[in-house]
């Protein structure tokens, strides 16, 4: 379970964001803050794993909150949720290592996808074993990899990409396009396109199974580290 602190100066907005987070399995809101100082105090007291952080706060800019958190030794992750579209704000957030940057207004599905992507990356990094340089390279690539739904080829939908990703994550070992298609209710050709996209973005590996004479079967496996 990932503990979340919601930080937004608007009481109604923070209540809405709290409701959004609580709809996503694996996440729970442990508190809400409405100023930068409250965010610092509650992070110290509650030790959340993730902050949903607005940048426009009444007492300090959100990026300054991040800097103060790091100075105080807090290593919680930050997902920025803001109306700030300025390039300097985006660049500053990226330089400070935020896990995502979501512009207001947005819907529950927009936040859900980003939380699920974050949880997947976090799980993969936590489980990673580093024995040599190849393992280091794989961990770094995994941390920086785009989500399955972040940049999709033309004709692929974000919602279906999310379903395919979930099906592949849940597979005991490997999964074929036909098995994926049956599980989520799409055609085998469509499932193959989504699975190939996951492979192309480094989130899945493919192997060949020569079980019967003829063309080999492509088997896909979610890459966790």
Long-range contacts of 184-193 (CB under 8 A, 24+ apart): 184/160, 186/160, 190/160, 191/164, 192/218, 193/153, 193/155, 193/156
| Residue 130, in any domain of the structure | no
Kindly state whether residues 61 and 166 are assigned to the same domain.
no
Look at the block and give the residue holding tokens 């004709």. 155
pTM value surpassing 0.85: no
Phi-psi region for residue 217, left (φ > 0), alpha (ψ -120 to 50) or beta? beta
The candidate with the shortest Cα–Cα distance to 83, out of 3, 9, 152, 158, is 9
Structural domain that includes position 151: 143-222
Determine, yes or no, domain membership for 29.
Answer: yes
Across 51-55, average pLDDT: 96
CB 28 within 8 A of CB 1: yes
Structure tokens at 126: 């936590």
Over the stretch 109-133, which tens digit does the pLDDT of each residue have? 889 888 988 887 777 665 556 677 7
- Which backbone phi and psi does 181 adopt, to 5 degrees? -60, -45
Mean pLDDT is lowest, of 2-16, 53-67, 190-204, for: 190-204
The reported pLDDT for the residue numbered 140 is 59
Question: Residues 207, 219: contact at Cβ < 8 Å?
Answer: yes
Residue 187 has pLDDT above 80, yes or no: yes
Angle at 127 between CA 171 and CA 199, to 5 degrees: 50
The pLDDT of 16-33, averaged and rounded, is 94
Q: Are residues 11 and 94 in the same domain?
A: yes
pLDDT tens profile 89-99? 888 888 888 98
Residues 37 and 113 in one domain: yes
Whole-number pLDDT of residue 74: 93
How far is the C-alpha of 132 from the C-alpha of 110, rounded, in Å? 37
pLDDT at 195: 93
CATH of the domain at 17: 3.40.50.2300
* Residue 137 resides in a domain: no
Q: Is residue 71 part of a domain?
A: yes
> Are the C-beta atoms of 123 and 3 separated by less than 8 Å?
no
Q: Give, rounded to a whole angstrom, the gap between the first and last alpha carbons of the chain.
A: 20
User: Structural domain tally of the chain?
Assistant: 2
Q: Whole-angstrom Cα distance, residue 141 to residue 146?
A: 10
Residues 6+ apart with CB under 8 A from 57: 7, 9, 34, 35, 36, 39, 65
Query: What pLDDT, in 10s, does the model give residues 144-159?
Result: 554 444 456 778 887 8
Domain boundary residue, one of 62, 85, 119: 119
């Amino acid at each position: 379970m990932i503990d979340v602190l919601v930080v937004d100066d608007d009481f109604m907005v923070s209540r809405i964001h709290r409701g959004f987070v609580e709809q996503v399995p694996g996440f729970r809101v442990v508190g809400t803050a409405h100023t930068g100082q409250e965010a610092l105090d509650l992070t110290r007291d509650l030790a959340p794993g993730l902050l949903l952080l607005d940048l426009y706060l009444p007492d300090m800019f959100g990026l300054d909150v991040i800097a103060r958190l790091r100075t105080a030794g807090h290593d919680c992750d930050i997902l920025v949720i803001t109306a700030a579209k300025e390039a300097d704000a985006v660049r500053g957030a990226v330089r400070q290592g935020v896990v995502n940057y979501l512009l207001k207004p947005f819907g529950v599905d927009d936040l859900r996808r980003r939380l699920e992507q974050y949880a997947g990356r976090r799980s993969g990094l936590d489980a990673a074993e580093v024995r040599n340089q190849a393992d280091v390279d794989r961990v770094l690539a995994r941390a920086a990899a785009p989500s399955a739904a972040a940049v999709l080829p033309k004709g692929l939908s974000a919602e279906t990409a999310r379903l395919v990703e979930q099906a592949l994550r849940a597979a005991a070992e490997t999964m074929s396009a036909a098995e994926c298609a049956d599980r989520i209710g799409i055609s085998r050709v469509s499932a193959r396109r989504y699975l190939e996209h996951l492979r192309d973005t480094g989130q899945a590996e493919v192997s060949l199974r020569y079980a019967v004479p003829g063309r080999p079967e492509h088997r896909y496996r979610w890459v966790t580290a």
